[in-house]
Structure 1
């Protein structure tokens, strides 16, 4: 990404949920300001909630360098105007010729430290006509772009159902194997049924999920689904070495889905991205990434769910409360957005 910015001759568009100024963020700030100083048009969009505490200093640094900065829904908009929806995209587009999309923010969490791996996440580097299409549609709301084996879906606010539908279509078409790595795994009942149906018709379904999370109680909400999934033939593995932040799936070693889109209620109402690639080589790279993490993950079996009655009850209560809270927040955000459009 830094090399792409350094090679820019016309324009750079960076859209990211969280941008930390320290550590690797200093390298990005330098690369962006250097580009602006040599005449490149640079635009940066950060989310006001994801970059809370950083946005004002970012604005000062970038605007002094002649860079256009947009803070999506700063805290004042949330508090004074009730704008709770988020821009959760992670996109870098350079000269409409190279693009990076995935789940990675700008921050040191992803870097290895003293022999310890960084957060587990994925991004794709794209080149060619699909990048020119992306440049033309960045500000056009919901879009579906296709070039050869690559398809990019950009959701508008409340448009995450289309991205969910691509996951469901991939599950329905799976014949041999599905490996899915998701950080914030709070799918609805229909999605859980799609996973267990695939497993029951003979598809090997592996879930790589977070054994630790940066979001309080998120794991408890996910764990309440374990018994249903395991009884349905789905294999679950928890990544505990670091924080899992990936949002990806590989189907039959041929199809890769990756982006910023989480399988949770909030991603249904946020601005999100999903890239779908029908290519055995690219899917193979992603499969190897997932399998490497599966090899270092803890398998979860039904016996692990057989806690004492009180423990199981507390876990289910907490998990259900978190899941219902996320659903209600998403519904509230969606309803407010619809009223504003009206």
Structure 2
């Protein structure tokens, strides 16, 4: 297998993880599976997922059905109509709060890491994802996620989400445009920079130290 570690920070790697997702979604030809705890991506990622489904790629999302923070599910559901209309498959994991952050594309690309597809992960947080090129790992992950959707998830249908759409429509409109311009808006605020301090051992051992292990 080949693998590379990709990070996101507020200095030199502000959008590295997002760019990797955009590239593989754009190049996908067979399948895309994303399992995320928090799903509220920006407009570009939403557009690439929808475009992939339109050209025949099987796009599957596994999201929280019983989140530890209810507003997470409410935000994600604002996007469901937009994706379901283009045959994106959405499943909600209902056994317990989901904190998975994995994805796979076609039969050889996978990622496992700390980053969700949401504004905090993509624009603020210090994150790291391992990108893996390996068919065996991809297939193993795909089989595991497929079993998860069959045994422990509920499928979300467009018919179900259309009910009450009239009052969600304004929120959906605002959600699209907020996420579309979120990185630009976030740039108006001071960036959080991680502060690391090197620790050096003192030349003299502390009192009471006799060379034993702690």
TM range (shorter): 0.7 to 0.9
Task: Show CA shifts across 1:163-208 (max 9, x none).
Answer: 0111111111211111111110001111111001101111101111
Compared with structure 1, are the counterparts of its residues 181 and 334 closer, same or farther at alpha carbon in structure 2 (3 Å cutoff)?
farther
Q: In structure 1, how many angstroms separate the alpha carbons of the residues matched to 2:92 and 2:174?
A: 20
Question: Out of 153, 157, 166, which is 1:301 matched to?
Answer: 157
Q: Secondary structure at the match of 2:130?
A: strand
Give the length in aligned residue pairs: 189
Work out whether 1:232 is the aligned partner of 2:86: yes
Give the corresponding residue for 2:3: 150
For residues 162-311 of structure 1, the aligned pairs below 5 Å read: 162-267=16-121, 268-295=123-150, 296-308=152-164
- List gaps (5 residues or longer) in structure 1: 1-147
2:104 is paired with a residue of what secondary structure? strand
Residues 332 and 250 (structure 1), Cα distance of their counterparts in 2 relative to 1, 3 Å cut = closer
Q: Distance in 2 between matches of 1:329 and 1:303?
A: 33
Structure 2 spans left out of the alignment, 5+ residues = 194-214
Instruction: State the secondary structure of the residue aligned to 2:63.
Output: strand
Does the CA contact (< 8 Å) of 1:217 and 1:319 recur in 2?
no
Taking the TM superposition and a 5 Å limit, the aligned residue runs for 1:1-342 are: 149-157=2-10, 159-267=13-121, 268-295=123-150, 296-308=152-164, 312-313=166-167, 317=171, 324=178, 331-332=185-186, 335-337=189-191
Distance 2:192 2:155 in 1: 42
CA root-mean-square deviation: 2.9
TM-score, normalisation: structure 2: 0.78
Residue 228 of structure 1 and its aligned partner are, at CA, apart by 0.7
Q: Deviations over 1:214-269 (max 9, x none)?
A: 22311111101111101112111111111111111111121111100111111122
Question: Cα distance, 1:319 vs. partner?
Answer: 10
Contact 2:64 2:94 (8 Å CA) reproduced: yes
Distance 1:173 1:266 in 2: 25
Q: Which has the higher contact order (CA 8 A, sep 6+)?
A: 2
SS of equivalent residue, structure 1 residue 152 = strand
Q: Which runs of 4+ in 1 moved over 6 A?
A: 327-330
Distance in 2, matches of 1:202 and 1:314, equals 28
Give distance in 2, aligned partners of 1:307 and 1:185.
21
Superposition deviation, residue 281 in structure 1 = 1.1
Return the alpha-carbon distance in structure 2 between the equivalents of residues 274 and 184 of structure 1.
15
Q: Which residue of 2 aligns with 1:27?
A: none
TM-score (norm 1): 0.50
Q: Is the 8 Å Cα contact of residues 39 and 118 (structure 2) preserved in structure 1?
A: yes
8 Å Cα contact 1:171-1:198 kept in structure 2: yes
Residues of 2 paired with 1:182 and 1:275: CA distance? Answer: 15
Query: Counterparts of 1:297 and 1:227 in 2: how far apart (Å)?
Result: 19
C-alpha distance in structure 1 between counterparts of 2:140 and 2:77, whole Å: 29
